[in-house]
Amino acid sequence: MGWPIKLSTLALLALDSLLARTVNQQPLKAPIAVDDWNPWLSRPWDEQPDKDATSNLIFQSLAGLMQMKANSKHPNGHSIVRASIPPGTALYHGRHKVEYPTRDWIAFDPEHSAIFALGSNGTLLTFITTRELTLLYFDGCSGNKVDGVVDTQDLLFWGRLQHKRQGWWGELERIEDGCTWARQYGIDGFVRMEFDFEIMYCDFSDGLELVSVISPVNGQPPVTHPSRPPPRGTPYTRDNLSQVLSRISPAEATFHGFLRTERPGEVLEQPDGLMMALSPLTPPPGWKGTLPFLGFEAKRSGTWHNDFPGELRVRPEPSTLVSFFDPSLTSLVTARRNMTRNEYAAGNISREDLARLRQDVAEMAARPSGAGSGVDWVGLARVIEERFRDRLPYLQHLLRQPVVNSSAQAAAVRKQLMVSLIPYMHREAIGESEWFANIARDCATRFTAGLPVSRFTKQERLLHCAIDEVLHEICRVYTGAWVDAFDVEAKSMEAATSLLAKWADEFNALIEWLDWPVWIQCHPACEVSEYCYVPQGRPWGLPDDHEPRCLSIEDEIF
């Protein structure tokens, strides 16, 4: 019991001597490492990011790795990252036949595999990884097969977009050619995301041990769906979609979900997979009672991986994160200028930029595992998010209140600015322009000033720049407001009123620019009978609808 007291006494003594030294005019001057290649450390503290800046987008990719919500909100992926799965991890594969798989898809949740284990020959296999698997992860909704979401894979495997797709939206060629590419680098397969995460696995005889095989109870015979689908190419609008959905069964809604792809009707030619989920349920011999339709549990199991750290069984290596948001890919910078966020697509890249990017991926794929600085980039992004995730929305909340007593309201905002900036406030030159500049610079660099830049990979340099610019912008907005707020208590009501409006604009813009994954939440939180769902757009929903919502656990609709 004595130890904690002794320790805290020691800590206080240490603090005392530190304070004494500071007061004795011998401040501990921390050197700031200035990297030549990182422009953000030398820019004026009050300079805004360029309109073409992508640091916020790169930060989002990093902070949202392997999370369902973040990647559902912005379906077109922009990152290719090497990742691993530890030995001893259970993985699942469902099929409508009994033969052992060779090159095929793997799910992380048995609920996801079950929708493929249909028919009287339906089989659900469970594997355990026998060694660490090495995979490549494509972020975004990379398993959704429609244009845009598959761009990063197609550009890597084929060097172009595959607009004319053969078997199963091009998936059969994608897995074949992807695995041919992967073989050169000892990569076992690819991690992608649809309504749950999945792997395209190149060789089931390597790295996996079969631990269970069952013919699951939901194995009903495949029966062709009886209802006539609308003619090929029938468009849906917001107006008639809900009408259509209200007329048809949940199973049919899934079916229509497929028809909302760009190649309507294609699914009809597909003999395997989800189509079978539409078949009437026929219980196996000896079964008693009803056999509920469980086809939608896969969508719910996907949402288990909604928030940080997401699908934990996959460990991405951020030191290999090749990003199509890299500002040196100038063809994409130009393409993005007239686009909305969700129109940004890797497919707009020029031939020259793509050649460089494919070289970068080849270089990182060939790199030994564990190369890089060892910095925990995901952890760093998370720590930064946590520091501001509640504070920024609270400031926004204060600034959204109707103005009743502007002086009191400005004072409340002033307090919140101080709460975040006080670790960077020196006692010298208080109130002078140099004081504010030092606050902003310290605020922007405290997290990253001491990083081991000399050991960074090319991809880590990009992450470092992105994090620095994001912090620079946060600290610019905070310090900019602090310049006006410092003496706001002595200012008139009118002055306070106009400052409140100015700050509201600045902080609204900051929050919109950051667009952090941690803010993708169902408000209010879902009930115990519900789950939080972020629609992924095509092919499962309306193209622009990515609003988080609580759905009933009993709902059977995509």
Ligand X SMILES: *[C@@H]1O[C@H](CO)[C@@H](O)[C@H](O)[C@H]1NC(C)=O
Instruction: Specify which residues 322 forms β-bridges with.
Output: 80
Q: Is 235 in the site for ligand X (CB under 6 A)?
A: yes
| Residue 315 beta carbon to ligand X: minimum distance, rounded to whole angstroms | 32
- Residues 435-474, interacting with ligand X (CB under 6 A): none
* CB-CB neighbours of 459 under 10 Å: 26
Task: Select from 29, 51, 164, 337 the one that contacts ligand X (CB under 6 A).
Answer: 337
21 vs 160 by CB, closer to ligand X? 160
- Residues 184-223, interacting with ligand X (CB under 6 A): 221
The token pair that represents 168 in the structure block = 């199963």
230 vs 374 by CB, closer to ligand X? 230
The token pair that represents 501 in the structure block = 């409006």
Lay out the site mask for ligand X across 104-143 (x = CB under 6 A, - = otherwise). ---------------xxx----------------------
State the amino acid at position 491 in one-letter form.
Answer: K
Task: Select from 126, 270, 342, 407 the one that contacts ligand X (CB under 6 A).
Answer: 407
How many residues make contact with ligand X (CB under 6 A)? 22
8 vs 240 by CB, closer to ligand X? 240
- List C-alpha distances in Å: 337 to 160, 329, 343, 543, 544: 22, 13, 11, 21, 19
Distance between the two ends of the chain, CA-based, in angstroms? 57
42 vs 338 by CB, closer to ligand X? 338
Task: Select from 17, 130, 240, 369 the one that contacts ligand X (CB under 6 A).
Answer: 240
| Residue 245 beta carbon to ligand X: minimum distance, rounded to whole angstroms | 10
Residue 436 phi/psi, 5-degree rounding, is -60, -40
Q: What single-letter DSSP state applies at residue 32? A: P
163 vs 455 by CB, closer to ligand X? 163
Of the listed pieces 11-19, 271-279, 301-309, 332-340, which binds ligand X according to CB under 6 A? 332-340
Residue 552 phi/psi, 5-degree rounding, is -70, 140
199 burial level (CB within 10 Å; 0-12, 13-18, 19+): buried
The token pair that represents 97 in the structure block = 């036949």
Q: By Cβ distance, which residue is nearest to ligand X?
A: 408
Task: Select from 224, 237, 340, 433 the one that contacts ligand X (CB under 6 A).
Answer: 237
State the amino acid at position 140 in one-letter form.
Answer: G
338 vs 433 by CB, closer to ligand X? 338
Give the per-residue SS3 of 94-147. Answer: EECCCCCCCCEEEECCHHHHHCCCCCCCCEEEEEEECCCEEEEEECCCCCCCCC
| Residue 59 beta carbon to ligand X: minimum distance, rounded to whole angstroms | 23
The token pair that represents 417 in the structure block = 């600015």
- Residues 367-406, interacting with ligand X (CB under 6 A): 405
Q: Is 244 in the site for ligand X (CB under 6 A)?
A: yes
Task: Select from 234, 342, 498, 508 the one that contacts ligand X (CB under 6 A).
Answer: 234
Q: Which residue has the tokens 């009809």?
A: 268
Judged by the rule CB under 6 A, the positions of this chain that interact with ligand X are 98, 119-121, 221, 230, 234-237, 240, 244, 334-335, 337-338, 345, 347-348, 405, 407-408
